[in-house]
Structure 1
């Protein structure tokens, strides 16, 4: 790993950042650093009403420079269910749309702690159910559901809920370094929590803080609706690609979820991006980790 980049990661791992107290200014910094939507003429802001119609769920639609595949992508952003939004993930969604030649729908779900679990999950599920359900039988459309980090967590859980409620399912799902387990302390059963949890930007302290803001009650965090690895039934899931990062604390639990899906009879591919850290989906498309991930996703979706 580049020594300068490693030094910057150590700075980002500073224990001075307490996410439970500092999440609001982190959001403000993200807003300042995120530019206006790229190629605005190729994006469209829309909205979907919640199940009880008491609030709107923003959805931004990104159109690729050249559309080469009809199957659209429902993208769910990361940020620990606490930070991140459509604007901060605009660059990532533009890169995904252009590289894969597919239309991308990005969901702006409600964030904790103002709206703790299950608010964000309910928003994403509502959008998924509406978009995936064809208006008429003959208009059936194959969808891909994709998310990174907490968004990968929500994508995985939405797929489980769609199955349980006998709704239309995505054809494939792409889970990028997803959160799949409830414990991110030294007691975690996953080695990467201990080896990668202190010096690579995303620390276990931050992850645990995000979890506590999203679901303050420990027993709730153990639910399969927050920790899909706790699910007793992982059968009948979409064909899945799990992408992990070598120096990510979440690496092992993401790969464990892929293995659990495979053992439940699903078709799964797990790909670890070497010499990479959590969060690379927001890097420019030409960077090595992002380019490698996009190539893997392209191969998986086109297979």
Structure 2
């Protein structure tokens, strides 16, 4: 890792940053730096889906690839600890995702904690997936197997939870999911059973302290965090899950719990591929598409998507 990168990560790892107090200004900074993409020929369509109780709209942004390679669709849930990040701050990563996979990407602007704690964000993500599956022809699909769930970090957690909910509530559901350095467990204190919380939890941008603070905002009740829809790793039933690709990051406090989830899925009889991206830190999928880390990740993503 380059010295300047180490310095930058060290600054981002400052214990003075308290997500429970600072999330509002962090949201503002994110929006300030997200901006509009330089490329002028991208196509973005915005749509809205009613929530199940019709109390609010759920914005969905649709990204068309520069060169379409498949009719399949990716349903994307963004990261940010359920607290930060939105449809605008993830516009550039979603453009890259559409272009690098040759598939249309639907990005969900779910409600954020603490204004809307669990299960609000998950309900929005599930509602969009459910509505898309009920209206496959409207999005150009003929089968639920043509829809893949994908998410990074907290979005990976939401994708895993949506997969469980779809299995529990529907006969048809996506046959593939891609979880990028996902949150899968409820405890990120020194009591965590996962070693990466201690060895990678202080100096690499995302800290174990921040993950704990995000969790406090998402679900303040520690006992309720043991729900399989918050902590899929401890679900008692992981059968009948989609074929899964999990990419973890070498220098990420969430690394070990992501890899443990892959093992748990496999032990439950599912088809799982897991890979640790070397020399990477949490959040690398948002880097420019010329980054070697992004190139490596999308090689694995495309290989997975192209499998029958």
TM-score tier, shorter chain, comes to over 0.9
Q: Secondary structure at the match of 1:275?
A: strand
Take 2:86 and 2:120, find their aligned partners in 1: how far apart are those partners?
15
Whether the 8 Å CA contact 1:197–1:249 is kept in 2: the answer is: yes
Aligned to 1:66: 67
Who is 2:123 aligned against? 122
Q: Is the 8 A contact 1:77 1:147 kept in 2?
A: yes
Aligned to 1:89: 90
- Distance across 2 between alignment mates of 1:157 and 1:34: 28
Q: Counterparts of 2:168 and 2:99 in 1: how far apart (Å)?
A: 33
1:139-154 paired onto structure 2 within 5 Å: 139-141=142-144, 142-154=146-158
* 1:117-170 C-alpha deviation (Å, 9 max, x unpaired): 00000000000001123457x932510100000000000010001001124211
SS in 1 for 2:205: coil
| Distance change (3 Å), C-alpha of 1:247 and 1:262 | same
> Structure 1 residue 15 and structure 2 residue 23: aligned?
no
Aligned length: 302
> Where has structure 1 moved over 6 Å in runs of 4 or more?
none
| Residue equivalent to 2:176 | 172
Instruction: Please say if 1:193 is aligned against 2:187.
Output: no
- 1:297 aligned onto 2:301: yes
- Note the C-alpha offset of 1:68: 0.6
Query: 2:287, 2:94 → 1: CA distance?
Result: 11
Rounded to whole Å, the distance in 2 between the matches of 1:78 and 1:206 is 13
* 8 Å contact from structure 1 (residues 129, 168) kept in 2: no
Instruction: Find the aligned partners of 2:10 and 2:136 in 1 and give their Cα distance.
Output: 50
CA contact under 8 A between 2:250 and 2:278: conserved in structure 1?
yes
1:271 is matched with 275
The equivalent of 1:104 in structure 2 is: 105
State the distance in 1 between where 2:198 and 2:32 align. 33
Once the two structures are superposed, the pairs formed by residues 12-91 of structure 1 within 5 Å of their partners are 12-36=12-36, 39=40, 42-91=43-92
Query: Residues 39-84 of structure 1: CA distance to partner in whole angstroms, max 9, x if unpaired?
Result: 4751101100000001000000000001011110000000000000
List runs of 5+ in structure 1 lacking aligned partners: none
Q: Distance in 2 between matches of 1:111 and 1:167?
A: 29
Residues 69 and 102 of structure 1 are in contact (CA less than 8 Å); yes or no, is this contact kept in structure 2?
Answer: yes
Tell me if the contact between 1:134 and 1:140 (Cα under 8 Å) persists in the aligned partners: no
2: CA distance, partners of 1:200 / 1:135? 41
Report SS of the residue matched to 1:5.
helix
Q: TM-score, normalised by structure 2?
A: 0.96
- 2:149 aligned counterpart, secondary structure: strand
- Is the contact between residue 207 and residue 253 of structure 2 (CA under 8 Å) also seen in structure 1? yes
Contact 1:133 1:168 in 2 (8 A): no
How far apart are residue 291 of structure 1 and its match?
1.0
Unaligned runs of 5+ in 2: none
TM-align CA RMSD: 1.2
Q: Matched residue of 2:61: which SS?
A: strand
TM-score by length of 1: 0.97
Aligned to 1:209: 213
Aligned counterparts of 1:135 and 1:86: Cα–Cα separation in 2? 23
CA distance in structure 2 between the aligned counterparts of 1:116 and 1:207, rounded to whole angstroms: 15
Between 235-244 and 163-172, the greater mean CA deviation after superposition: 163-172
